[in-house]
Amino acid sequence: MDATAVDLVLRWTHFLAGIVWVGHNYSSVVQRPSWRPYTAAELGNDRSERFMALMKREHGFFRWASVVTWAAGMLMLWQRGWLPGALALDGALAPIGVGMYIGTIMMANVWLVLWPHQKKVLGIVPATIDERLRCTRITHLSSRTNTMLSIPLLFFMAASSYGGYLVAP
């Protein structure tokens, strides 16, 4: 497979996984546009094998989609020889560099903030009801932070296709 074909496959993978990942955030915004504190009754106590498998699959799907999106993006930059310039926010590579940094923050947010708290909300990790209620607030803000960050991320991804347009004097 030549370099262009590899680049195309990486780009396609990046888009597809990115839609699965960020689409999850927008789905949450549509379903629950405004924050309303959860009640203990709303958290539910369904610990059936079927329910837990469903929750793990749903959350695992978008969590791993974030890794695939990030890895495909980084491989694309590396394969094109753009990675050092993007990391240094150098000239025409600055827009995609900003997108790369935002994407990295978003993936870290999913794995280091959202998921540890979501495990308590879902009951995968044992926690008191007060702790679970507290975690719903953190997962809400964590999810919304990624929704918010996706706006500049997508802008800078799009802007990168215009070469130095953004940074031209």
Partner 1 sequence: MTTKQETMRETTERTRLRHPFDTATGTLVCGALLTAVLVVLVRHIAG
Cα(51)–Cα(86) distance, integer angstroms = 43
Q: Note whether 14 binds partner 1 by CB under 8 A.
A: no
> Nearest distance from residue 156's CB to partner 1, in Å?
7
> Which of 111, 130, 110 lies closest to 120, judged by CA?
130
89: helix, strand or coil: coil
CB of 99 to partner 1, least distance (A): 10
Residue 74 neighbours by CB under 8 Å, 6+ apart: 83, 100
148 binds partner 1 (CB under 8 A): yes
Q: Considering only residues 16, 43, 55, 149, which one is a binding residue for partner 1 as defined by CB under 8 A?
A: 149
Among positions 63-122, residues that touch partner 1 (CB under 8 A) are: 89-92, 94-95, 98
Helix, strand, or coil here: 143?
helix
Structure tokens at 38: 């959860």
Residue 131 is a binding residue for partner 1 (CB under 8 A) = no
Helices (H) and strands (E) in the chain, counts: 7, 0
Decide whether 13 or 145 has the Cβ nearer to partner 1. Answer: 145
Of 65, 13, 40, 24, nearest to 131 by C-alpha is 40
Binding segment (CB under 8 A) for partner 1, from list 27-35, 43-51, 52-60, 72-80: 27-35
Among 6, 8, 19, 29, binds partner 1 (CB under 8 A): 29
For residue 5, CA distances in Å to 10, 13, 157 come to 9, 12, 20
CA distance 109 to 105: 6
Q: Pick from 5, 37, 57, 81: which binds partner 1 (CB under 8 A)?
A: 37
Of the candidate spans 5-13, 47-55, 68-76, 144-152, the one that interacts with partner 1 by CB under 8 A turns out to be: 144-152
Which residues contact partner 1 (rule: CB under 8 A)? 29-30, 33-35, 37, 89-92, 94-95, 98, 137, 140-141, 144-145, 147-152, 155-156, 166-169
